[in-house]
Structure 1
């Protein structure tokens, strides 16, 4: 039974996504904060359980990062719609995730293993989770106060910088793997 716990937690996170979007859209921020924080907690917990008990599955390798990205992008879409954060933040994240998906597909077609999450990708995800939570909390508590807006921009800016750093690292790995593949193919 224990072997299904990490995947069940990931599935639970996927189920949360539409509810998260609904509650942010309806400006029920307390519920949205609880759902988002719970989603972040299940992400950490499922990863810990899967690694500690060697319960890593192909399903989990695919759906765990998908659940993370869907939660993140859903929250960002509605934060942009409510004008909590600038549209450029969402555009950067969507471009990064699209490039990651395209690179993963191309490596898979070449018979290579898809690039797994590294510490910098995990760090970027964690920082974005905190930045999104901080944005909602600060906006609720302080509104459009200048200090509050600066705090939001610092938190989101740090998350974007970490995301761009992670993307740059993944691009380097992608080109290294592609080069190795081409050299082996030409031999």
Structure 2
């Protein structure tokens, strides 16, 4: 069996070449980036489209990770990334000023999935982060969580297990949102 080639990145192409390729239909929008039209919009293609921001020092998280997994139509703005290794790199100041929000919380190896050369939080971790976030839990996030649960059997149980170790506030928020999604059983105190 032949290995699948990696989706080509075009973020390093000169702007004039990207514009011309977009006008001719060779490149198409993929989130805030571009992908070759011949490549279907898959998690690998989405990662390659934001590869310039994602690089090898960051992992896609929250809404951006949900988009990579195909559970959201948009990666959100700003893109949500977390540093790998739990430390902010030297370029952290510059990155925070772009259309990228970088968090420095620690991700465990089991929280991450490698897609080509990029890191993304697992579907279960992505759903947990969306359910735990103190920001609004609107229709797009509810749909994303449902799609993440369907795509990865057992992820709903994993989110419940993880929530038991969360703070009281986060646990209550996750429980309330899980109940909104599918009438989940209460989490133990």
Query: Larger strand proportion, structure 1 or 2?
Result: 2
Query: Larger helix proportion, structure 1 or 2?
Result: 1
Q: Identify whether the pair has TM-score above 0.5, normalized to the shorter chain.
A: no
Structure 1 length normalisation: TM-score? 0.27
Q: Which has the higher contact order (CA 8 A, sep 6+)?
A: 1
